[in-house]
Amino acid sequence: MQNRLVFWGIFLLIVVAEYYGYVAVRTALSLNSGAARRGLALGYWALTLSLWGLGLWAAATRRDGQLLPLKGYLLSAPLLLLAAKLVLLLPLLLEDLGRLARWGIQAASETGAISPERTAGNEPISRSQFMSRLALGLGAVPLLALVWGMVRGKTDYRVRRVVLTYPNLPASFDGFRILQISDLHTGSFLGNPEPLRRAVALINQQKADLIVMTGDLVNDRAPEVEPHIDTLAGIRSELPKFSVFGNHDYGDYVPWPSAEAKRENLQRLAQNHARIGWRLLLDEAHLIRRGADALAVIGVQNWSSHPNFPKHGRLAQAHAQSEAAPFKVLLSHDPSHWQAQVLDYADIDLTLSGHTHGMQFGVNLPGLKWSPVQYSYPQWAGLYEQGRQRLYVNVGLGYLGFPGRVGFLPEITVLELRRG
C-alpha cells in the first residue's frame, strides 16, 4: 500500500511539473494567434510524451544488453527535462497561489479594483511573462548542469585525501596510505579504454601503500570488464591489491538461461579479478606485516540491510581470520552494513564502502552536502565516525543508469593513517 502511494505521488508530481513546463513556455512566448498556440500545445505534448515513451522503453529493455549507449541517453532525456521543470515549478506555483490570493481579496472587498493582469498592457511585459521567463531561466540551471555531467562530469576524476588518526595504530604503519576505488561499473564504458587509462595513471601517481576496490566491478555480466583487464592490471602496488564483490557483481538484475549460467558468470568474474591482479576476499582476512607489527585487511561479500540487496557476506567468519591484529580495515561494499553489524565488532577500526554513487547527482560544496540518496542511506558519501570506529563511503569511479555525474564526481580516495 505504501509503495503504491509513493508511486502515485511521484506520478502526480511528474504530471504537475510537465503541465507547468508547458505553461511556462506558452506564457514566455506570448503567442497571439490561436493557430500558433495550438501548434505549440501539439508540439510540446507530442515531444514530451514521445520522450517519456522512449525513456520507459529504454528502462524496460536495457537489461537485454542491446543498444546500451542509445538507451542510456533515451532514459536520461526525460529525466533531465523533468529536473528543469521541477525547478521552474516553484516560482510558477507561487505566482498562481499569489494570483488566487489577490482574486480572493478582491472578491471579498468588492471594490472592483482592476487586477494586475488587466493593467499589464501598460508594462513592457506582464507579470506572468516575467515569472515564466524567470522560471525558465532557473530551470535551465539544473538542465545545463546535468548535460555537463553527461559530457564531462562522468569521467572528471578527482582525488580526495583524508587523514585519520588512531591511538592503536602500530608504529610501523604510521603514515600508511590506503587508496580506495569503488563501483567501476566497467560495462558502462562500452569497451572504451581511454577514461580508465586516465584513472589508472592518476591512481599510480598517488604511490599509495595499499590499493583496494570495494565492489561493483561490472554492471551485470563478467565479460563487461574484459576489454579493460590490461588497463586495470597496470595499477601498481608492492603489496597485494584487494577487492570484494558488490551487489551488481552477482548478476541478480539480468535474466539467465539457468542457475548454472549465473554461477558460471560469477566464477568468470572472480577469475577476471585474478587476471587484473586483485586478490578477491570472499569472507576472509589477510595480514599485512611490518616487522613485528600487523594490520588486518578483512573483506566480505555484499551484505545490505536494505531488502532489495543481497546478504551474502559472513562477517563473523572473516573477522575470525584477522587474528589478534591490533588494527583492522574492513572492505564491505554496502555502507548500511556498518550500522547493522560492523559496529558490533569494536576492533574493526576502519570500514571502506561504496555502493551509493552519491546518486551521481547532488550538491557537494564545503559545508553543504546533499543528494536524494541520503533519504535511503544515513551514511552515503565521505567520512562517518562513531566512537573510535570510522566508515568511509567512496562515491565511485564509474557510473550506472544516468550516463553522467553532477556534484559527486568520480572519486579516488587516499586515506592516510596516523598514530596519535
- Report the number of distinct structural domains present in the chain: 2
| pLDDT, tens digit, 9 for 90 and up, residues 57-86 | 877 887 776 666 677 777 777 877 777 777
Is-contact 232 224, C-beta < 8 A? Answer: no
Query: Burial code of 332-351, b = ≥16 C-beta within 10 A, e = fewer?
Result: bbbbbbbbbbbeebeebbbb
Count the alpha carbons within 13 Å of 26 in the hemisphere toward its beta carbon: 20
Q: Is there a single domain that holds both residue 260 and residue 333?
A: yes
Q: Is there a single domain that holds both residue 177 and residue 234?
A: yes
Contacts of 151 (CB under 8 A, 6+ apart): 404
Query: 211 - beta bridge partners?
Result: 179
Angle between helix axes 2-29 and 127-151 (nearest 10 degrees) is 120
Query: 416 - beta bridge partners?
Result: 163, 177
Q: Is there a single domain that holds both residue 236 and residue 377?
A: yes
- Here the cell at position 391 is 566508515
Contacts of 169 (CB under 8 A, 6+ apart): 176, 326, 327, 349, 417, 418, 419
- Domain end point (choices 135, 151, 167): 151
- Domain end point (choices 117, 151, 185): 151
Contacts of 418 (CB under 8 A, 6+ apart): 163, 164, 165, 166, 169, 174, 175
What DSSP designation does 115 have?
A: P
State the greatest distance between any 2 C-alpha atoms of the chain, in Å, as a whole number. Answer: 92
Count the alpha carbons within 13 Å of 239 in the hemisphere toward its beta carbon: 21
Q: Is there a single domain that holds both residue 194 and residue 241?
A: yes
- The residue type found at 231 is T
The mean per-residue pLDDT over the stretch 135-141 comes to 68
d(CA 159, CA 410): 9
The answer on pLDDT for 392 being more than 70 is: yes
| pLDDT, tens digit, 9 for 90 and up, residues 193-221 | 999 999 999 999 999 999 999 999 999 99
d(CA 332, CA 215): 8
- Domain end point (choices 102, 130, 151): 151
φ, ψ at 63 (rounded to 5°): -75, -10
Write the CA distances from 412 to 164, 214, 304, 388, 398, integer angstroms.
16, 12, 23, 24, 11
Q: Is there a single domain that holds both residue 29 and residue 115?
A: yes
Query: What integer pLDDT is reported at residue 311 of this predicted model?
Result: 96
Q: Is there a single domain that holds both residue 208 and residue 344?
A: yes
- Here the cell at position 257 is 538461461
- Here the cell at position 279 is 586478490
Q: Is there a single domain that holds both residue 44 and residue 83?
A: yes
Q: Is there a single domain that holds both residue 132 and residue 264?
A: no
| pLDDT, tens digit, 9 for 90 and up, residues 225-284 | 999 999 999 999 999 999 999 999 999 999 999 999 999 999 999 999 999 999 999 999
Count the alpha carbons within 13 Å of 407 in the hemisphere toward its beta carbon: 19
Angle between helix axes 68-109 and 2-29 (nearest 10 degrees) is 70
Q: Is there a single domain that holds both residue 102 and residue 236?
A: no
Query: 278 - beta bridge partners?
Result: 241
Query: What integer pLDDT is reported at residue 65 of this predicted model?
Result: 64
Q: Is there a single domain that holds both residue 65 and residue 167?
A: no
Query: What integer pLDDT is reported at residue 341 of this predicted model?
Result: 98
Q: Is there a single domain that holds both residue 220 and residue 142?
A: no
φ, ψ at 212 (rounded to 5°): -135, 150
Q: Is there a single domain that holds both residue 213 and residue 102?
A: no
Going by C-alpha positions, the residue among 378, 337, 374, 369 that lies closest to residue 359 is 374
387: region left, alpha or beta (phi > 0 left; psi from -120 to 50 alpha): left
CATH number where 236 lies: 3.60.21.10
Domain range spanning residue 58? 2-151
Read off the pLDDT band of 339 (50, 70, 90).
very high
- Tell whether the torsion through CA atoms of 9, 10, 16 and 19 is positive or negative: negative
Query: What integer pLDDT is reported at residue 112 of this predicted model?
Result: 46
